Structure 1
């Protein structure tokens, strides 16, 4: 949960950031791919499964020190709950 909490604090800090992330998650046209946020990356494995991780480049090599896998429904609920507390307009 520490990764998710840090993700929410870092990435759901502005309405525009929220909109971009939630549109990526909701999109049925994107079956798999990555969304680069300010600090974290959201990896869409398929329409229902996501991995959120913090990526570092050290000496030219990509390193991932921690990640969390999460189902689409749970991710949407967590993001929307946090965004609502921030006063953002929620997309359904």
Structure 2
């Protein structure tokens, strides 16, 4: 789990624009469920509190998911913000 989360943070929280898109998706109450496609990973919102992060592969025109992690909204926000802060990215507050 830690390795997947660490890879997600390193690949996806690399600049302000990527951070803003991800954090807006996480905070949004208007999106009850759905997917946010990042550069490499996908964040799936199951409901307003639970998210699945996975690395998606397309093999022979079929979607394959080899690893995933279920994470609570507050923990995801904390991890994303802590990593973004270390990268010098300006943090966003909730709505």
TM-score (normalizing by structure 2): 0.96
Across the aligned residues of Structure 1 and Structure 2, the Cα RMSD in angstroms comes to: 0.4
What is the match of residue 56 of structure 2?
Answer: 55
For residues 39-86 of structure 1, what are the alpha-carbon distances to aligned partners after superposition, in whole Å with 9 as ceiling and x for unaligned?
000000000000000000101111001000000000000000000000
Give distance in 1, aligned partners of 2:29 and 2:76.
16
SS in 1 for 2:55: strand
Runs of 4+ in 1 over 4 A off after TM superposition: none
Structure 2 unmatched ranges of 5 or more: none
Give distance in 2, aligned partners of 1:50 and 1:2.
17
Give distance in 1, aligned partners of 2:34 and 2:46.
7
Aligned length: 92
Give distance in 2, aligned partners of 1:70 and 1:10.
18
What is the match of residue 24 of structure 2?
Answer: 23
TM-score (normalizing by structure 1): 0.99
